[in-house]
Structure 1
Amino acid sequence: MTGRDPERLPARSPSLIKPRRLHAGDRVAAVTLSWGGPGQFPQRYLAGKRQLEEEFGVELVEMDHTLADADWLHRHPEARAEDLMAAFADASVKGIISTIGGDDSIRILPYLDLRVIHDNPKVLMGFSDTTITHLACLKAGLTTFYGPAIMAGFAENGGLFPYMVDSVRRTLFELDPVGEVTPNTGGWTAELLTWAVPENQNKRRSLNQSEGWKWLQGTGRHRGPLIGGCFEVFDWLRGTEYWPDAAWWDGALLFLETSEEAPPPSLLGYTLRVYGAMGLLQRLGAILLARPGGEVAPADFCKYDQVLLEVVSDELGLTNLPVVAGMDLGHTDPVFVLPYGTMAEVDCDQRRFSIVESAVTE
Structure 2
Amino acid sequence: MLKSKKLSQGDTIALISLSAGLAGETQMDYRWKRAKERLESFGYHVVLTPNALQSLEYLYDHPEKRAEDLMGALQDQNIDAIICMIGGNDTIRLLPYIDFEVVRNHPKLFVGYSDSTINHFMFHHAGVCSIYGPCALIEFAENVKMHDYTLNYFLDLVSKNELPLSIESSLEWTSEFLDWFDTENQFVKREMQKEAHGHEFLQGKQTIIGQLLGGCLDTFPMMMGTEIWPQAKEWQGKVLFLETSEMQLDTEMFTILLRGLAAQGIFNQISGLLVGKPMGEIYYQEYKKALLQVINKECGLSDLPIVYNLNFGHNAPIISLPIGCQVEINCSDQKVLLIESPIV
Q: Same fold (TM over 0.5)?
A: yes
Question: 1:42 maps to which residue?
Answer: 29
Per-residue CA shift, 1:246-272, capped at 9, x if unaligned? 343111111001001101122121111
Question: 1:81 maps to which residue?
Answer: 67
Distance of 1:159 and 1:53 partners within structure 2:
15
245 and 172 in structure 1: CA distance in 2 versus 1, 3 angstrom threshold:
farther
Q: Which range is displaced more, 255-264 or 231-240?
A: 231-240
Distance of 2:341 and 2:263 partners within structure 1:
34
1:160 to 146, 156, 161: 146
Question: 1:23 maps to which residue?
Answer: 8
SS at match of 1:175: coil
Question: 1:205 maps to which residue?
Answer: 190
Matches within 5 A, 1:116-195: 116-185=102-171, 187-195=172-180
Per-residue CA shift, 1:61-100, capped at 9, x if unaligned? 0011001111111111111111111100001100000010
Distance of 1:60 and 1:210 partners within structure 2:
34
Per-residue CA shift, 1:259-308, capped at 9, x if unaligned? 01101122121111122122110111111110112x554xx311111011
Aligned residues of 1:30 and 1:66 also touching (Cα < 8 A) = yes
Aligned residues of 1:265 and 1:307 also touching (Cα < 8 A) = yes
**2:293 corresponds to 1:310:** yes
Matches within 5 A, 1:220-239: 220-239=206-225
Aligned residues of 2:322 and 2:341 also touching (Cα < 8 A) = no
1:345 to 328, 332, 342: 328
SS at match of 1:167: helix
| 1:177 Cα offset (Å) | 2.5
Distance of 1:246 and 1:279 partners within structure 2:
6
Distance of 1:207 and 1:164 partners within structure 2:
14
Distance of 1:338 and 1:296 partners within structure 2:
21
Question: 1:246 maps to which residue?
Answer: 232
Aligned residues of 1:189 and 1:333 also touching (Cα < 8 A) = yes
Question: 1:196 maps to which residue?
Answer: 181
| 1:218 Cα offset (Å) | 0.7
Identity of aligned residues (%): 35
Question: 2:244 maps to which residue?
Answer: 258
Per-residue CA shift, 1:327-354, capped at 9, x if unaligned? 1000001000111110101000000000
Letter paired with 1:203: V
The higher-RCO structure (CA 8 Å, 6+ apart) is 1
Distance of 1:345 and 1:296 partners within structure 2:
26
Aligned residues of 1:171 and 1:178 also touching (Cα < 8 A) = no
| 1:52 Cα offset (Å) | 2.1
Distance of 1:327 and 1:39 partners within structure 2:
32
Question: 1:4 maps to which residue?
Answer: none
Per-residue CA shift, 1:178-232, capped at 9, x if unaligned? 52111111x1011111110011011110011113111111101011000000011
- Structure 1 moving runs of 4+ over 6 Å: none
| 1:130 Cα offset (Å) | 0.5
Aligned residues: 341
Question: 1:335 maps to which residue?
Answer: 318
Distance of 1:321 and 1:235 partners within structure 2:
23
Question: 1:286 maps to which residue?
Answer: 272
| 1:122 Cα offset (Å) | 0.7
Aligned residues of 1:170 and 1:178 also touching (Cα < 8 A) = no
Distance of 2:222 and 2:275 partners within structure 1:
18
Distance of 1:147 and 1:247 partners within structure 2:
27
Q: Normalising by structure 2, report the TM-score.
A: 0.97
Aligned residues of 2:232 and 2:264 also touching (Cα < 8 A) = no
Distance of 2:341 and 2:257 partners within structure 1:
32
Aligned residues of 1:178 and 1:359 also touching (Cα < 8 A) = no
Distance of 1:214 and 1:337 partners within structure 2:
19
Q: How big is the alpha-carbon RMSD for the aligned residues of Structure 1 and Structure 2?
A: 1.1
Distance of 1:287 and 1:338 partners within structure 2:
13
**2:39 corresponds to 1:52:** yes
248 and 171 in structure 1: CA distance in 2 versus 1, 3 angstrom threshold:
farther
Question: 1:8 maps to which residue?
Answer: none
Question: 1:357 maps to which residue?
Answer: 340
Aligned residues of 2:203 and 2:305 also touching (Cα < 8 A) = yes
Letter paired with 2:322: P
SS at match of 2:193: coil
| 1:358 Cα offset (Å) | 1.7
Q: Normalising by structure 1, report the TM-score.
A: 0.92
